[in-house]
Each structure stands twice: as structure tokens, then as C-alpha cells.
Amino acid sequence: MDPRSEVVIRQHEYLSGRILLVNAPTDDLLSNLDKDIEPIVWTWNFNEFQYFQNQQANVHFGVDLPESAFDQAIVFVPKSKELLNYVLHNVVSRLNIGASIFLVGEKKGGVERAAKQLLPLGSALKLDSARHCQMWQMTVEKSVIAKSLADWAQEYKVPTPNGDLTICALPGVFSQKSLDIGTAVLLPYLSQVTSGKIADFGCGAGVISAYLAKLNPKNRIFAMDVDAFALESTRMTFAKNNLVTEQLEVKAVTGIEDAPLFLHAIVSNPPFHQGIKTDYNASENLCKTARRHLKSGGELWMVANRFLNYPILIEQNFGQCTTKADQQGFKVLFANTQKKS
């Protein structure tokens, strides 16, 4: 069992009633809670949503809180400080004065820093500290009115051959405040991508999706991500730039296996972080299985850190891999399926 869950179970006497579990570990925590507790799980990770669904838990996936009422909340600290602010603000807006919010996290995950974010909302007390994990209790001392989602988005400009794009990025989304280097290296090559049905795997705030849509209004973009905040950011980016909504289909996925078939192209700056841990599974699977989702002559375009072995994986599965660019520590990789003669 996750050490964070063990901390919660040790302090079970503080828990009662309907409890909202935010960003909870995928383990047996729910089955170890006292029988009189009604857990409600809120997650923005589609993999975790499917795990809790399979456990037949009361689980909600999205950027917004579940509609169900709750008496207390346990927040497992996310990696992003801005995302934690968003979570705390929205959770407090739904609780009564005197209610408890419990904050749980690993020391290396920044739980002590996170505990300071509780102070504007109420008094905080450390309940437990063991196995590199801590649990804090905050008593809500002031009421808060929930802000609109748009108020939480950061905006920045990205130039394209057809004019600037305004990117809208919500808390916790990769590269929330400015364009990341990898995507910046990839963007000049997007004009070479074949037109048609194109998947943007790991869409983040929708930079690649919106760029492709602005380049060609006939492109049909499938923006895919595991993260609900990324998917909502992509929708916001399209709306902000008055891009045709019919061009965009937003899809929560667990990996490339959930992508449509017969695509003209897959374009990706693939994700490799799962919470605070590094995880290359999704991007390695993309290299190995993207071909199955492409039509004959379909293209894979990918940007990745220079040190990763993706060119070898792509070559093994496509028969070839071309490095289109190698700059600032990133490679732009290209491969295509052979057209049948």
C-alpha cells in the first residue's frame, strides 16, 4: 500500500461522514476505511479514473468537483503548486466553517511547502509524519466563493505563419506559463505534416492542436491526453482563438491504444511524468504501436529529448526514422508507413 494511504489509515479516528478524496493513490485505501465513511473520489487523471471505476468506487473525472455533498476532504498533494491552490480554493468553497481538510503527501513531493498554502484558509496542524510522509489537518475558518475556471488560466502567445495564437493553460498543465523548448523546436516542422485526420498525443494546453488547426482549416484534430486539465485547456485555447470547434475532438485516453484508427498523422511532444515520478511507458508505447493507428502513408512526427532511445524504437516498428532537427537538446523525429503500390 502507498505510504500516503498508510498515514491516512493510522489517523482514521479524525475521519467521519462523507469524505472527498482528491488525487488519491491507486491502492486499497478505500476498502480499509471505516465502514461508516462514504468516500467520494475526485481525479483528473484518466488512468486513475478507470482504476477507481473498476473498484466500483464513487469516482468523478474532470476539472470540476463532483456534485455530491461532502463533510470533509483529504487532498493528496499534486506536483503543481498552482493546481493545489485551485483544489484547496474549490474544496473550501464547498465546506462549512469548522470542517476539516486533510493534506497528505511525501516530503520529496513538497508536502511541507504545500501545508503553508493552507494558512490563508484556516489553521493547520501536523497530525503524522512517518516513512517520508506527512498528514496535516486544517480547520476551515473562512468561506470562499469559487472563481470561474477562466480566472485560473495563464495565457501566452505563440506565433504561426497565419498569425499569433493565444494559448490558455490551466493549473497543473505542462508548460503552463510559456512555450516549452521541445514544442518550440517542433513547431516550424508542422507545416510539413500531411493534412487530414491528425492526432495530437499528449496535447497539453493545445499548442500543437491549435497550430495545426490554424495552418489548415480542413485538418480534423484529435487532441488526446490523460489529464482533464490539459483537455479543458485545449478546448479553451480553441475558443480563445476562434478556431472552428468542428475541427477538434477532445479525448481522454490512457495511452496511444485509445487513439482512432486510419489517421493521416500522429504528432506528439509526449508526456513522461506521472505525478512526481518519471514514466516513459506512454511515449515508448507510442513509438512501438503508432503504426497501427495510421493509414497507409500515414506519418508520425515526434519531438523528444536527445538522450532518449526513441529513434531506435521507431525504426524497429516503421522500418525507418528520420531526424528532421537536433537542437537545444531535442530531436524532431519523423517516420511514415509505406504506401501500398
Res 341: pLDDT: 44
Residue 279 pLDDT class (50, 70, 90 cuts): low
Same domain, 176 and 267: yes
Tell me if 341 is assigned to some domain.
Answer: no
Same domain, 134 and 170: no
Same domain, 196 and 256: yes
Res 340: pLDDT: 52
Can you tell me the mean pLDDT for 310-335?
96
Tell me if 239 is assigned to some domain.
Answer: yes
Same domain, 11 and 61: yes
Q: What distance in Å separates the CA atoms of residue 142 and residue 276, rounded to the nearest whole number? A: 31
Tell me if 202 is assigned to some domain.
Answer: yes
Same domain, 200 and 314: yes
- Mean of per-residue pLDDT scores for the chain: 93
Same domain, 225 and 325: yes
**CATH number, domain at 189?**
3.40.50.150
Q: What distance in Å separates the CA atoms of residue 312 and residue 78, rounded to the nearest whole number? A: 34
Res 281: pLDDT: 82
Can you tell me the mean pLDDT for 165-193?
94
Res 113: pLDDT: 87
Residue 311 pLDDT class (50, 70, 90 cuts): very high
Same domain, 42 and 162: no
Same domain, 104 and 162: no
Tell me if 21 is assigned to some domain.
Answer: yes
309 pLDDT higher than 80: yes
Residue 194 pLDDT class (50, 70, 90 cuts): very high
Same domain, 123 and 161: no
Can you tell me the mean pLDDT for 27-34?
96
Same domain, 103 and 191: no
Q: Which domain covers residue 64, as residue numbers?
A: 3-140
Res 277: pLDDT: 47
Q: What distance in Å separates the CA atoms of residue 247 and residue 268, rounded to the nearest whole number? A: 18
Res 214: pLDDT: 96
Nine-digit cell string for 264? 493521416
Residue 272 pLDDT class (50, 70, 90 cuts): low
Lowest mean pLDDT, pick from 22-26, 117-121, 205-209: 117-121
Res 274: pLDDT: 46
Same domain, 197 and 313: yes
Q: How many CB atoms lie within 10 A of CB 325?
A: 15
Same domain, 217 and 86: no
Domain end point (choices 76, 110, 140): 140
236 pLDDT higher than 50: yes
Can you tell me the mean pLDDT for 100-119?
90
CA torsion sign, 291 to 247 to 214 to 182? negative
280 pLDDT higher than 80: no
Domain end point (choices 93, 118, 140): 140
Res 273: pLDDT: 44
Domain end point (choices 140, 174, 202): 140
Res 276: pLDDT: 40
Split into its structural domains, the chain has a count of 2
Residue 263 pLDDT class (50, 70, 90 cuts): very high
Residue 174 pLDDT class (50, 70, 90 cuts): confident
- Give percent of the chain with pLDDT exceeding 90: 85
Tell me if 104 is assigned to some domain.
Answer: yes
Helix/strand number for the chain, H first, E second: 9, 18
Can you tell me the mean pLDDT for 55-80?
96
pTM of the model: 0.94
Q: Which long-range contacts (CB under 8 A, 24 or more apart) does 217-220 make?
A: 217/244, 217/247, 219/195, 219/247, 220/196, 220/247, 220/249
Can you tell me the mean pLDDT for 123-129?
92
125 pLDDT higher than 80: yes
